[in-house]
Each structure stands twice: as structure tokens, then as C-alpha cells.
A = this chain, B = another copy of it.
Amino acid sequence: MKPDISPQELRQQIRTRQWTTPTSGSASGYLQANLVILPADEAFNFLLFCVRNPKPCPILDVLEPGQVEPIIAPGADLRTDLPRYKVFENREFKTDVEDVSDYFRDDMVSFLLGCSFSFENAMLAAGLPIRNMAEDKNVSMYITNRKCIPAGPFSAQLVVTMRPMTPQQAIRATQVTTRFHLTHGAPIHLGDPVKIGINDLDKPDFGDSVTVRDGEIPVFWACGVTSQLAATSAPLSRVITHAPGHMFVADLKDEDLTIL
């Protein structure tokens, strides 16, 4: 566990390349966000995709074309203040870099979308298990059989994260995460994985598999990776995203986004 720092200090360390590792667990209590950057001529359609699919793609901030300083983090620069990025061109992965100043163009629009890291603190505070943390793994993610509502060139199957819990804990987790509607909110399913097209819990599409104990059921939340699949599967000249786990950390607190 790294000693805790402020979001401003964390972004400064990232910008000067003193920090190049995942952001999970750092600047505790502050909002972490998914990043998607794409050309302005498809920005309306991507914003439409997010608006139509708010559970996996909750919008935290959208910038004007060419802008890099988010409203939710004054002074920040989205080209340099994430530890690692991925660059895609015409649906193909191109490179993995620590700074996208050479890839960002003045005709590109940046989207910051909510991330489930925001409700994990609240879940831990409520005494709920987060198995992947206990086992020091990445959260298990699965592509479901549920289709998102498309918009322009953007479409995707819904991606979910999974956390094993007892039924009693699943009820409490539903209560706790409902408040965080801008960071995926309540679960989208619990129990039988086959019902949402997941045939083998031991084989996640992204992340690691975790232990499901006797008496536990899998509980599924919508996942921001859905927005990345939608963006990178569309025929765009360039798409930039954060690298998994290497999120943007904003000045807002997780609690600032709760509805109650």
C-alpha cells in the first residue's frame, strides 16, 4: 500500500513520470475516471451512446474539441496526467504509451466516464468483501449477451464486473452502490451467470478469476470497459483510452456524486 496523497500531488507525480503504475487505492476517496478520446466528427454519436447506456457509460465530464483541462480537475492535462494510455487506429491497437501529447489532435474530444473504484471504498466501509482485492488480483470482467443501445457507428455488448457475495451481502451491496449512480450504481444481475450469457465464471474476458466460496453468488455490475469496446470497435482514425487500472484521478470526492 502506497502512502496516500492528494489528487493534485498524484497527477503531478504522474506528469513528471515519478508515478507510472496503476492508480487503484491511491488518493483514497477521490473520483477515478475512465478516459476515451476520439475525433470530434463522431463525438456527438459517442455522447449519444453514453447517454443511451448510462449504467456502463456514466458521463462525468466532456471537453470541447482540442481542450485537455477537465472541469472536474482544474489545472490537469488529460494528455499527460494518466500513468499509461492505449492508442487505437482504425479498430486496431497501435501502441501503449505514458504520454499522448504526440497523439492528441486539436480535432479530438475527451470523455471522462465513471469507474466502479468509486463505490469500492463504500463497500469496504460497509464490511462487504471485495474478493479480488483480498486475493490481490484484478477484478473479473465478462462480456455479456446484453446489447447496448447503439448510436451512429458505436455498439457493444454490455461488459460487467463480478464480485462474489452471500445473498445477505448482495442485498447490502445493492443498497450501498445504488447511491453511486454516476459510477455504475446498483448491480445489473445477481445469481445464475448463464442468464446474462456468461458460461464459465472461471474464464473472465478481462482481468482475473477469483474464488467463489460455498454459499456465495456472483453479483454483477455494469463496467466502463463497455465504452472502450464501443469506441475501439468503430471505424475511427484514432481513439485514445487509459490503460486498464491506470485511471484519471479528479478533484471531486466519490461522495460528491452520490444522489442521497
Interface residues of A (CB under 8 A from B): 40, 43-44, 47-48, 51-52, 59, 62, 64, 71, 149, 151-152, 178, 181, 185, 259-260
Taking a contact as CB atoms under 8 Å apart, the answer to whether A62 and B71 are in contact is no
Residues of B within 8 A of A152 (CB): 64
Are A48 and B62 in touch, CB under 8 angstroms?
A: yes
**Inter-chain contact A71/B44, CB cutoff 8 Å:** no
Complex copy number for this chain: 2
- Write out the residue numbers on chain B whose beta carbons fall within 8 Å of the beta carbon of A181: 181, 259
Q: Are A59 and B51 in contact (CB under 8 A)?
A: yes
> In the complex, given contacts A44-B44, A48-B64, what are 18 additional A-B residue pairs having Cβ atoms less than 8 angstroms apart?
A40-B44, A43-B44, A44-B47, A47-B47, A47-B48, A48-B62, A51-B51, A51-B59, A51-B62, A52-B62, A52-B71, A64-B152, A71-B149, A178-B259, A178-B260, A181-B181, A181-B259, A185-B259
| Closest residue of B by beta carbon distance from A185 | B259
Taking CB atoms, residues of chain B closer than 8 Å to A149 are: 71
Residues from chain B with a CB closer than 8 A to the CB of A52 are 62, 71
Q: Which 7 A-B pairs have the closest CB atoms?
A: A44-B44, A47-B47, A51-B59, A181-B259, A48-B62, A43-B44, A51-B62
Chain B residues in 8 Å Cβ range of A151 = 64
Bound Cα distance from A260 to B59, whole angstroms: 20
Chain B residue at smallest Cβ distance from A175: B260
Residues of B within 8 A of A185 (CB): 259
Nearest B-chain residue to A45, judged by Cβ: B64
Nearest B residue to A44 via CB reads B44
Can you offer 5 A-B residue contacts whose CB atoms are under 8 A?
A43-B44, A52-B71, A64-B151, A71-B149, A178-B260
Residues of chain B within 8 A (CB-CB) of A48 are: 47, 62, 64
Q: Which residues of B contact A59 (CB under 8 A)?
A: 51
CA A28 to CA B43, docked complex, whole Å = 37
